[in-house]
Structure 1
Amino acid sequence: MHSGLAYFITFFVIVISVFVTLFFKYELEQMFREKKSVIAFHICNLIITFMVSVGAYAVMTVYLFGKSFKLFPSTVILLFMILPIYIFGHFAFEKYKFVYQKYRTTGNEKVVVLNEKYLKKKRSAKFKQYNALAKEDRSHNAAKSRRRL
């Protein structure tokens, strides 16, 4: 019972860790201007996710439930939990990345296609009101500056 609950909570920790590491991998690839996925980043992501999940599971079993922590069986179970989640998360993140990309470029950094889905993304109503207030403020300031002349 307690180990099942620990694995269930660790599942959520793994999902969050996979999302965060994939986001950092994407940002690093943009920073280094990589066109394709870098295998080293995937390996680092898996190691980081594995360390976080083992730590979370160990803390829950030892400190929360007062049970003994057995490294080998839990390691194997956590690896079998991490791999499918990471693979599914990677494909979902790649799909999301290309769907909402602002534009695509060629090899010589020229913009080829603007993405219509990105352009059609809804703007929040708050921003419309904010922009309207800013335009109104600008028009009032312009009127005041004309009066001084």
Structure 2
Amino acid sequence: MLKALEQLRSKALDEIPRLKDLKELEAWRVSYLGRKGTLTQLLRSLSELPIDQRREAGTAANSLKALLETSLTERQEALKKIELERLLQQSRIDVTLPGYPVRLGRLHPTTQILRETAAVFAEMGFEIVEGPEVETDYYNFEALNIPKDHPARDMWDTLWI
């Protein structure tokens, strides 16, 4: 039994450094430490040994199991680190690309209220029309066919440009 444990230890520890990714490592774990793994089968067969050999073989088997589990976690961490480095190499950040634009400032509160009010009136069906605040003589009178002697053209009544 001790020879079998020693052979298992040397075989398992020789295989660990050759594992290249986490899938292979998981397959290794299942083959040695899984429910139907080699070490598990040896631990189950301890009950068949005589009592005087059982204690020594049990101690050796448990220490081998602890050794394999620590080797497994160490290799798992190493493989995760290798995978992370590979991902970082693939997804390099180009520092020459422009960053996200910073939003500068904001609207004046009066402008915000004016826009909100315009939106409310637009929802009610009104239209917002923009145009000149002062009209010329042509658009005020001549384009509307108002004669030159019309009272609306008097200076005291109307101011035009």
Q: Report the TM-score, using the length of structure 2 for normalisation.
A: 0.30
Name the larger-Rg structure: 2
Q: Which has the higher strand share?
A: 1
Q: Report the TM-score, using the length of structure 1 for normalisation.
A: 0.32
Q: With a CA cutoff of 8 Å and minimum separation of 6, indicate the structure with the bigger relative contact order.
A: 1
Q: Which has the higher helix share?
A: 1
